């Protein structure tokens, strides 16, 4: 849940560069717990992806580089990604074979998330918005 909130929030802030956005605004837009979201935003700020803006009209502002920041960078702030390899301890042949298949999936997943930048995601959102996707329209509001 925290990872999904982080991804939605990062895209939301990156789509509004320079404009402070409050946690309440995002929580209302996506129908999520403000308490839970606030913790996620604090973690993103600690990682340097958001700047805190104090005072009236305050909130958070995107501080990352959308051309460089990838989905994997955001995910890894909240989840421990699995390293490929044989793991610890001895495995029998069934476990080894299954681990090989799971490792293949992990590597593809990692390559996918690691190659999609926030800027690329914003282009994709725009494409869906132009095609009339309700989710993309939600991001615009």
Partner 1 sequence: MTSADLKDTTAIVIRPVEAADLGQVIAIDAESTGIQKTDYWYELFHRFGTGHSRQRLFLVAESEGTIQGFIIGEVRDWEFGSPSCGWVFAIDVRPGARLAGLGTKLFDSICAGFRHAGVDTVRTQVSRDNNLMLSFVRSQGMMAAPVITLEMSLD
Instruction: List contacts with partner 1 (CB under 8 A).
Output: 70, 107-108, 111-112, 114-117, 119-120, 123-124, 127
As a whole number of angstroms, the distance between CA 36 and CA 117 comes to 25
Q: Which long-range contacts (CB under 8 A, 24 or more apart) does 33-36 make?
A: 36/1, 36/2, 36/5
Nearer to partner 1, 19 or 127 (CB): 127
As a whole number of angstroms, the distance between CA 137 and CA 66 comes to 20
Handedness of CA 128, 132, 136, 141 (dihedral sign): positive
Shortest separation between residue 115's beta carbon and partner 1, angstroms: 4
Nearer to partner 1, 22 or 84 (CB): 84
Nearer to partner 1, 19 or 123 (CB): 123
Nearer to partner 1, 28 or 124 (CB): 124
Nearer to partner 1, 24 or 105 (CB): 105
Greatest alpha-carbon pair distance for the chain in Å reads 62
Shortest separation between residue 62's beta carbon and partner 1, angstroms: 18
As a whole number of angstroms, the distance between CA 107 and CA 100 comes to 11
Shortest separation between residue 82's beta carbon and partner 1, angstroms: 15
Shortest separation between residue 124's beta carbon and partner 1, angstroms: 8
Cβ neighbours of residue 139 closer than 8 Å, sequence gap 6 or more: 11, 12, 15, 125, 129
Shortest separation between residue 67's beta carbon and partner 1, angstroms: 8
């Amino acid at each position: 849940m925290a990872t999904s909130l982080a991804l939605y929030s990062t895209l939301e802030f990156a789509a509004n560069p320079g404009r402070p956005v409050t946690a309440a605004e995002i929580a209302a837009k996506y129908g999520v717990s403000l308490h839970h979201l606030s913790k996620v935003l604090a973690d993103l700020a600690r990682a340097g992806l958001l700047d805190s803006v104090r005072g009236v009209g305050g909130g958070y502002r995107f501080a990352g580089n959308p051309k460089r920041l990838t989905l994997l960078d955001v995910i890894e702030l909240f989840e421990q990604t699995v390293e490929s390899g044989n793991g610890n301890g001895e495995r029998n042949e069934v476990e080894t074979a299954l681990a090989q298949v799971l490792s293949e999936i992990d590597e593809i997943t990692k390559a996918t998330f690691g190659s999609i930048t926030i800027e690329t995601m914003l282009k994709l959102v725009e494409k869906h918005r132009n095609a009339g996707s309700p989710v993309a329209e939600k991001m615009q509001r």
